[in-house]
Chain A
């Protein structure tokens, strides 16, 4: 944790008072005192802090359990700014998606040195390796898989054009071809060729279909990015990659083998049956899911995750951010390339 000093604002001991002052104005309160602020684990791209605050006056009066979310020192280049993420969270909240309620956005760097936003804290855990193995967290696995399908369908009710989401670009070609061009563009900047990824991307280019209608794609809808407690789902997290895309992209990402945390027989994110997840989606959306398109995007998931794994590993290898976690993520590229090749035989 950085130490917040008067000459260099940051998050840490000493920054509670300036955050409290900010919250008085942002929440329309009479007074706010921050009782506790602890860094939460898990964010490679963003940092999250648990914030317990006593709020007097205004619509949020009372003891509030909040999360403050801000940028990590270095992040993956494709993620949105915190201001954009806040707009996405608000749009999702208004669409009836179960998300932590967004409360206030601060772009003034004088408070903690970086932009941040504050949302309500939801209960439970997001840890994928726990959710797939520990039955304490599941609620009911059939219900959870169906619920996650329904939540995704609600996200996909958000469609362009939207003034509040004007920062999201429309696809230049199709969502799939844009993704392929993006990964290739990054691979061109990498120091060594990656023929296995190139093979997979070529297959994806040859098998790309037209996208029938554009929806808001979460683009990181997977186990590890939603919170669950003993009773079930409490919130969909991590909106920083969302964009206009193909509805099958999120379904494929959620079901792909690389996001089952080793529980390969539970094809819906390692937590449930694919059929339950798809049924939840189809019931809520009234749209039929095309299994072939889902398979296509599951294949894309391996190309995408493989590219991201190299990027994460590079953050360590370059010396910018020495980290065992990032180093190990970098070495996941082999298993991702291997599965990608298995899915793309000539």
Chain B
């Protein structure tokens, strides 16, 4: 059992408070640091609510050796996994496709 607010909810309200109440009062040379803190919290909150499906087991040596050069299912699985992870860490970049 997890008490409410849960980890994600706590990070979200902490981040919202940081952005609304603290960031405007940071001196200019600390603004980027403040934004980085907000960014790290946003990534953590998104990760807590994401569901990553497992990537098919594949041997590095087989990729390097050319066994998967034409392996579309593997490619599609890797692409979907990378997209999911990128949507957690930098959704703006994915949405700008």
Contact = CB atoms under 8 A, between A and B. Distances in A.
B72 A346 contact: yes
Q: How many of chain B's residues touch chain A, expressed as a range?
A: 20 to 34
Interface of A is mostly: helix
A184 B64 CA distance: 9
A283 to B, nearest CB: 32
A334 B64 contact: no
A199 interface: yes
Contacts of B7: none
Given A193-B60, A341-B78, A341-B82, A334 B90 contact: yes
Interface residues of A, number: 27
A328 interface: yes
B88 to A, nearest CB: 7
B66 interface: yes
Given A196-B81, A334-B88, A345 B75 contact: yes
Contacts of A262: 92-93, 96
Contacts of B74: 195, 199
A210 interface: no
Given A338-B79, A338-B94, A198 B64 contact: yes
B81 to A, nearest CB: 7
B69 A202 contact: yes
Interface stretch (B9-17, B19-27, B34-42): B34-42
A271 to B, nearest CB: 17
A202 B63 contact: yes
A342 interface: yes
Contacts of B96: 262, 264
Interface in B57-89: 58, 60, 63-64, 66, 68-72, 74-75, 78-79, 81-83, 85-86, 88-89
Given A196-B78, A346-B69, 17 more contacts: A193-B58, A195-B58, A195-B63, A198-B60, A198-B64, A199-B75, A202-B63, A206-B66, A328-B36, A328-B43, A334-B88, A334-B89, A334-B90, A337-B82, A338-B83, A341-B75, A346-B71
